[in-house]
A and B are shown apart, each in its own frame.
Chain A
């Protein structure tokens, strides 16, 4: 059964303290792995798509990487405005999209 697990559920960082969020997945025929950011009460905002193991994408303080079993979202020197819930989703060979439950990140000034 296709599955997406994100860890940790919640993460508190001091401003400037780098860390990584994990998304592990089990899927038949990965068509893509997606990272989204979601602020409270708002729709998810697209960040990255990764398609194959070894691929990396960067945007400002965020860097996403992909292996055959998991993806990491690295946050370098985070700022308070990076506080949000980060969602990971995978699309399987049948074009079904499965979301993880997210990591709630809080960056303390």
Chain B
């Protein structure tokens, strides 16, 4: 158990809909990262927050957005969902901003778009 929690575990929805994924980092970790993992693409970095502020952006679509709240939990919002958005979405956390520290991953949310 990494100490990172994610909810929900599974999510099934339809194309065009909007969903919110939630992540609580390990106690004391200020950085939160979001990743998408699909079968054909491997693990893709989406976005990083540090202590409430966006700090790095990867391959995140404009339909996707995230935020980190004062209690440090984070939410990833996915809108206008397409079939290709079906994937595992992971949250990870680390202590520091720079992330030379290792990242600890949550169990993931499996999103299925029908």
How many A-B contacts at CB < 8 Å in the complex? 58
Given A32-B100, A49-B100, A49-B102, A43:B107 Cβ within 8 A:
yes
**Is the pair A101, B100 in contact by a Cβ cutoff of 8 Å?**
no
| CA of A53 to CA of B10, assembled, Å | 41
Is B4 positioned at the interface, with any CB of A under 8 Å from its CB? yes
B-side interface size class: 20 to 34
Given A97-B45, A100-B42, A102-B42, A43:B2 Cβ within 8 A:
yes
A-side interface size class: 20 to 34
Q: Which 7 A-B pairs have the closest CB atoms?
A: A43-B105, A101-B42, A99-B43, A46-B102, A44-B105, A32-B100, A43-B107
- Give me the interface of A with B, judged by CB distance under 8 Å: 31-32, 34, 36, 41-46, 49, 51, 87, 89, 91, 94-102
